Amino acid sequence: MTGSAQERLIRGLLSPGAYPHPVGEIRHIETHISHVLLTGDLVYKLKKPVDLGFVDYTTLARRRHFCEEELRLNRRLAPALYLEVVPITGTPERPRVGGEGEAIDYAVRMRAFRQEDQWDRVLERGELTAAHVEALADTLAAFHGGVRVAVPGEGLGGPEQVAAALRANFALTRRFVPGLIPEAPYRHLEAWTEAQLARLSPVIAGRLQGGFVRECHGDVHLQNVAFLGGDLLVFDCIEFNDTFRFVDVMAEVAFTQMDLDSRGRPDLGWRFINRYLERSGDYAGLALLPLYLSYRAYVRAKVAALSPDADKNRIRALVALAMGYGQMRGGGIVLMHGVTGCGKSTVSADLLARLGAVRLRSDVERKRLAGVGRAASAAAPERGIYNPAMTQATYGALLDGAETAVNAGFTAILDATYLNPAHRNAAKALAGRLGVPLIIVSCQASVPELERRIRARAAEGRDVSDGTLAVLRKQLHHTPLDPWEAAHTVVVDTETADPSVLAARVAERLAGGGAGRPAGR
């Protein structure tokens, strides 16, 4: 079918008589590779007979194949939305969806959802919450854990493929310099990208070898996430090109974080990426996150530049965002400090969103090391998973994650009691070795309030912490901070603290207004 024949077909599909079911007002949406027809409760998506290099839908057989692939792949994350592949019969002028006779084209039949439930719209209304993006992170972490893993030698996700994808963006946008894209940022980004590719090539290869290149969704941004009947759906997976879909999982989640950043909600971006890291345990992937964040922002700039109604200000803002990801420097290490129930995790969650930081939690990492589920209770002071060897391993895991985060350009928040001076000394030694500041955020509350929180947490039964009243009573007799530590501590009364004021104080200290650089310790 030629493009002109399909145009006649689309006009024919605007007639209610083309459908085997009642329809409402039929709406037509066209993209560069698809036609979408909204008929009421059902939606039909057809492939355009085009060959754009990265996508080839030129034959009927290929369009059928990719309709079937779209169905298969999208049912992984949106089974309620994607129903079936249907033939279109008849003639372009008088088509019939699902009719008898020889197929002239194929379409994916889907359930409709309210456009106002699409996440970009939800965000515009100010209704997208941290709980929503954390639920998306949970969904993606579970999804990535169950999809096909790329095999080295398949030509997917290795250093050569990653380099080719990134270089292609600069080649495609060179003609927009300096009209839409300023020359200096373009040259800087291109040079920085080449330097990162050279430096990180062994890491990219190791990630492929380690199984982190997987058959992902490939296009997880807010316009491809929606609510349907209260359920979260991620739809419109890339089905037409294996290279775009088989990517490092960190490249997948970088797109979502970048999209939240570009829409003015970096706080939600940090809540999203931290939840993903917490669920997946893939802190090693942080080494590649700045590169992939920059890549995703520049891809968005490229798409905007290629648009017929290119918005110069929007394009330049995206280029600036891409550059910003390449200019991140490790801000330091923040140690949370305090007894169970004092509010460390609540405070650290607010700090990570306001500061833009990576958080590692001892409660989570301890259970990960032990192979115990997050919700499982394992409370037994100094026994079971709380024995000294496991505690030492847990604090070691926090330091390993912090080192990776700081080396990648991020601030690290270590969320643990840090009541033991030996654990604090180890963190100070790491900060000294990395040459970054360290501050302590000591969370405090009255004993009655601590006890109330612990009882409430136990009654809810949803928190990862195993802190009990018995644990609290033991911790209340901890060794106080030494003079150096006390001088580099922000004390927080979690019953009265203003989160924005606290974040400003911590940020000021990290920037050099009172954070310690414990060299040689």
How many CA atoms does the CB half-sphere of 165 hold within 13 Å? 25
Q: Which residue has the tokens 């912490």?
A: 465
Q: Where are the domains of the chain?
A: 3-112, 119-325, 333-513
What one-character-per-residue DSSP string does 386-423 give? GSHHHHHHHHHHHHHHHHHHHHTT-EEEEES---SHHH
pLDDT for 521: 38
Question: Any idea how long the chain is?
Answer: 521
**What's residue 187's pLDDT?**
98
Fold agreement (3-112, 333-513): no
Six token digits for residue 474: 């033991």
Question: Beta-carbon neighbour count of residue 154 at 10 Å?
Answer: 13
Residue 520's pLDDT is 44
Token pair for 326: 């390449």
- Cα separation, 442 vs 437, whole angstroms: 16
The CATH number given to 333-513 is: 3.40.50.300
- Closest by CA position to 506, among listed 374, 333, 362, 248: 333
Q: Which strand ranges, in their side-by-side order, compose the sheet holding 82-90? A: 27-30, 34-38, 42-47, 105-111, 82-90, 95-97
pLDDT along the chain (521 residues), means of 10: 89 97 96 94 97 93 98 98 98 95 97 96 98 98 98 97 96 96 97 98 98 98 95 96 96 99 98 99 98 98 92 98 91 94 93 96 95 67 78 97 96 97 97 95 93 87 75 87 95 91 90 56 38
CATH node for 119-325: 3.90.1200.10
CA terminus-to-terminus distance, the chain: 72
What's the pLDDT at 475?
87
The rounded distance, in Å, linking the Cα atoms of 268 and 276 is: 12
Q: Exposed, middle or buried by CB within 10 Å (0-12, 13-18, 19+), for 30?
A: exposed
Q: How far apart are CA 88 and CA 218, in angstroms?
A: 28
- The fold of 3-112 is Phosphorylase Kinase; domain 1 (3.30.200)
Residues of 72-109 as b/e, b for ≥16 C-beta within 10 angstroms?
Answer: ebbebbbeebbeebbbbbbebeebbbbeeeeebbbbbb
Dist. CA 255–CA 457, nearest whole Å? 34
Cα-based distances in Å from 430 to 186, 347, 419, 426: 36, 23, 17, 6
pTM: 0.93
pLDDT value at position 415?
A: 98
Give the pLDDT confidence score for residue 512 in this predicted structure. 74
479 by DSSP, 3-state: which? Answer: coil
Secondary structure of residue 9 in the 3-state scheme:
helix
Residue 383 is predicted with a pLDDT of: 58
**Sole residue written with tokens 């420097």:** 329
Q: Which two tokens stand for residue 405?
A: 């985060």
Query: Residues of 41-52 as b/e, b for ≥16 C-beta within 10 angstroms?
Result: ebbbbbbbbeee
Residues 417 and 475: beta-carbon distance below 8 Å: yes
